[in-house]
Structure 1
Amino acid sequence: MRKLILIFCIGSFFGISQDSFGQRPIDPYGEIGITAGYSYYIGDINPYKHLGPRKKFAFGAAYRFNLTKRHALRIQGTRMHLEGYDSDNEDIDLINRNLNFRNKLTELALLLEINFHEYRLGGLGTGFTPYVFGGLAYFNMNPEAELDGSYFELIDIHTEAQGADGFDNPYKRGQVAIPFGIGFKAGFSDRLAINLEWGIRRTFTDYIDDVSGNYADPSIVRDNAGLQLAAELADRSLEPIGPDGSNIGMQRGNPESRDWYIYTGVILSVRLGKDGNGCWK
């Protein structure tokens, strides 16, 4: 992950340093568009990192405000589907853990784009450029797990006894992330543009997959949630791993590592108002 951050920083430096604040001014203009692609996550239930099979369709809408030929602000809302299964793994310990999740996540992001070349839809300037972007995002999540063919929401079940005496506080649906990534944009008329983009989100939660700490006593999980189902969803292991024949106190997840999620997609946008030659259409 450090390599990705380094690549982003280098790209931002070059995008800013190439006379990015000294180019000829333009009239700012807006674009509105739609986006579609796929999403996936990196966390406790993902053995393949970026190369896993659990990529899911995602879609959204965006508004871009082009400040200069090198800088644009973008507001984007995206609906993503994230999921993971221990059964996909080749590690026998994770296969034995036997957890799974899905999370239909909604994100609203404010992003700054920095173009490598001067770019403008229509008129003077190049009609294509690579770019980097970064910003701030708010997302709403709702992790679920599948058991016997049915899905159950996990946030109120507290599978790690969150909220009980001596345990962590419950996590929240609403979370903040830092998105950043790279892309390529091109105009194929005075009004229309296409973007290809890959972006990763650094979150501040370890519960996108509802897995973080250690196994709690099943009776505490059950009493805390008021449901026997909570204990069944908390410990799905095929065999106990503890020396006493249980999993109590044994590692369930890795609390030192936060979850990440990724969106790769295409954005099709149309210029609003005047075209690049100053004409209304």
Structure 2
Amino acid sequence: MAITMRNVHFSLPLFVSLIVFLGAPRLQAQTEIGVMGGVSLYSGDLSPQEIGLYFQDVRPAFGAFARFGVGRAFALRAGVSAGTVTADASENGLALSGLSFRSRITEFSLVGELNLFTIGQRIAPYVFGGGAVFRFSPEAEFDGDFVQLQPLGTEGQGLPGYDAPYSLTQWAIPLGLGVKILLSDQVTLGLEFGGRKLFTDYLDDVSANSFNYGDVLEGNGELAARLSLPFVEDPDLDGSYSRGGDYDDWYYIGGVSLSFRLSGGSRGSWNSGRGIGCPTF
């Protein structure tokens, strides 16, 4: 699998190989592989609040990862995750009634995990953060089928005087927290939830940029124009519209993981984290 983002060529085998190569001198102590199952959800222009839990927008997510121990209480984790985000302004009670989207997301990430402390030697709460690259493609339902929105240019993208079409491959910063529970010397159960700070406002194809409806209709076609303002019964051809709100786009992934130790010997408890000020309870 290969993804091209501007002048950066990204491939999963190269990504994993680079991680292992850079960390090889320190990663031999603890190596685990694991799988994750959980949920994904969205927050952004089509959300009624910047931070909230909208159960109607929750969708399944899954992933796989490799974790490499570094030092007493720190680990590097390389993973791939897949999920779907969706929102409907009508269901969320917004004035932008008629705007909705869904987008499948594939994410490749490298994050660091820091154990904060231990509870009973087998439970370790942790925080994580790092970098990720993800692929998305917002779609909207039209006449009983789903239409990809980015190629349409619903806010005039690609026309003279407007921004270029946004890239469907973007960078993100994963941030979150979780807890790891040792079920045995070889098996770890994890619970985790985290958000992704994005550098695009087009996860939902909606931004705060203004556009002229007549420009979209003439330059990008009737379908682009109809999907740009489905909540306006009679759009003004010369009118300037802005669909987005004050909220940045985020997506979230949370779930349960199960990981299996491949190397590093037996382990009866988490390290206490001595030397970095982490208490043991």
Q: TM-score, normalised by structure 2?
A: 0.79
Between 1:245-254 and 1:48-57, the stretch displaced more is: 245-254
Question: Quick one: which of 237, 242, 257 aligns to 1:251?
Answer: 242
Gap change, CA 1:56 and 1:277, over 3 Å in 2: closer
Task: Note if contact 2:213-2:237 (Cα within 8 Å) is conserved in structure 1.
Answer: no
- 1:29-178 equivalent positions in 2, closer than 5 A: 29-47=30-48, 49-52=51-54, 53-91=56-94, 93-95=95-97, 98-117=98-117, 126-178=121-173
Flag the 1:86–1:275 CA change in 2: closer, same or farther, 3 A.
same
1:87-144 alpha-carbon deviations (Å, 9 max, x no partner)? 11234x233xx1000010111110000001369xxxxx92221000000110011010
Deviation at 1:258, TM superposition (A): 2.6
Distance 1:55 1:86 in 2: 15
Q: Which amino acid counterpart does residue 116 of structure 1 have in structure 2?
A: L
- Matching residue within 216, 220, 242 for 1:221: 216
- Which of the two has greater strand per residue? 2
* CA distance 1:26–1:75, shift in 2 (3 Å): closer
Q: Give 4+ residue runs of structure 1 displaced > 4 Å after superposition.
A: none
Aligned residue for 1:195?
190
Report the counterpart of residue 234 of structure 1 in structure 2. Answer: 228
The residue matched to 1:233 in structure 2 has which SS? helix
Counterpart residue identity of residue 41, structure 1: Y
Aligned to 2:226, what secondary structure does the other structure show? helix
- What is the aligned partner in structure 1 of residue 4 from structure 2? none
Aligned CA-pair RMSD: 2.4
Seen in structure 2, the aligned counterparts of structure 1 residues 272 and 260 have a Cα distance that, compared at 3 Å, is same
Report how far residue 253 of structure 1 moved. 0.9
- Confirm or deny: 8 A CA contact 1:215 1:234 kept in the other structure: no
CA distances 1:125-168 after superposition (whole Å, capped 9, x unpaired): 92221000000110011010111211000111110011211112
Query: What letter corresponds to residue 150 of structure 1 in structure 2?
Result: D
Letter in 2 for 1:32: I
Question: How far 1:67 moved relative to its partner?
Answer: 1.0
Partner-residue secondary structure (3-state), 1:94:
coil
Amino acid at match of 1:73: L
C-alpha separation between the residues in 2 aligned to 1:83 and 1:210?
A: 11
Q: Which runs of 5+ in 1 are unaligned?
A: 1-24, 120-124
Aligned to 2:215, the other structure's residue is in SS state: helix
| Native 8 Å contact 1:83 1:103 kept in 2 | yes
Identity %: 39
Check the 8 A contact 2:32/2:263 in 1, yes or no. no
Shift in Å, 1:267? 1.1
Q: What amino acid sits opposite 1:56 in the alignment?
A: R
Structure 2: stretches of 5+ with no match in the other structure? 1-25, 269-281
Report the CA distance between 1:277 and its aligned residue.
5.9
Change (3 A) 1:94 1:235: closer
